[in-house]
Amino acid sequence: MTDISLLSATANRHPLLWPLLATLLIIGWSSGFVGIRYANQEAGVMLLLFWRTLLSGLILLPFALSIGPRPSMRTIKDQALFGIMAVFLYLGGFALAIEQKVPTGLVALIADLLPLAIAALSQPVLGERLTRRQWLGTAIAVVGVLIVSFDSLSFGTAPVWAYGLTVGSMLIFAVASVLHRRRKTQAMPVHQSLCIHTLTGSVLFGLCALTQGSLSPPLTRDFAVGMIWLVFIATFLAYAVYYTSLRLFPVAKVSAAIYLSPPVTMLWAWMLFSEPLTGAMFAGLAVTLVGVWMTSRG
């Protein structure tokens, strides 16, 4: 098992480590849009999430079994609980909300307010007190996210519970992140924990997908491209970097980088799907950058 104090000392000795991890986190977190854009045309969201988590877990399984310590049943149960919270309830909650016709722009905005919830939880649960400058940076980053998301916001006609589901999913992931940081002394290697998380999610997503039909994947190019993207970038890169960063840095600092995912997602859409960029998006990006810099530097 990796020694946490050694990792923290390493992080402090290398000032470029956090910028590198933050960049990878932003790329991985925002790239989920690309895989879903490719694959969702071919399959429902529950089937898509089932294959995303199943393939991720199966690829990691040989490494989880052969590299690293042998985990106890208690540790496996703990990690399975994190998998239910951070994979099944988080991803599945937002997917179900979109199926219930909650506007995608509103779902994305609520998801991207995750760092605000984590910042609020970090002090009472972890004792990680944010400075005034960090709270100001958080407020500025939220304003930037609102500017980026403003044009796509609408309220739609979904049932009231579906809107509550989006907020609940975001809060569940915030709680899971804080608990993961709190239990860092019992952490297993990231590839083992992520394997358990994704396989746990695949079982639950599979049960949900079965209620909607077959588990057979569409044998199409777009679905295959979407799966490759979702597994290797949106899952392996995003989650692995996120969990690694939580072990090295304060949780509020790590989560603040997620504020940059909306404008970076807009850049993905422009590069790959020729979706237009607006002046408001660039203004929101600039404001968000200032807020994230203030929060991380503090």
Query: What pLDDT was estimated at residue 5?
Result: 47
* The pLDDT value given to residue 3: 44
If one compares 263 and 93, the residue with the highest pLDDT of the two is 93
For residue 105, the model assigns a pLDDT of 61
**Cβ neighbours around 154 below 10 Å, total:** 11
Is the predicted pLDDT of residue 6 greater than 50, yes or no? no
Measured CA to CA, the distance from residue 242 to residue 254 in angstroms comes to: 7
**pTM of the entire structure?**
0.80
Q: How confident is the model over 115-123, as a mean pLDDT? A: 76
Nearest to 85 by CA among 217, 239, 216: 239
CA–CA dist 26, 288 (Å, integer): 13
pLDDT in tens, 42-86: 788 889 999 999 999 999 999 999 998 888 888 888 889 988 998
Q: Which burial class, exposed, middle or buried, applies to 155 when counting CB atoms under 10 A from its CB (0-12, 13-18, 19+)?
A: exposed
pLDDT over 90, % of the chain: 17
Residue 4 has what pLDDT?
A: 45
At 231 the pLDDT is 93
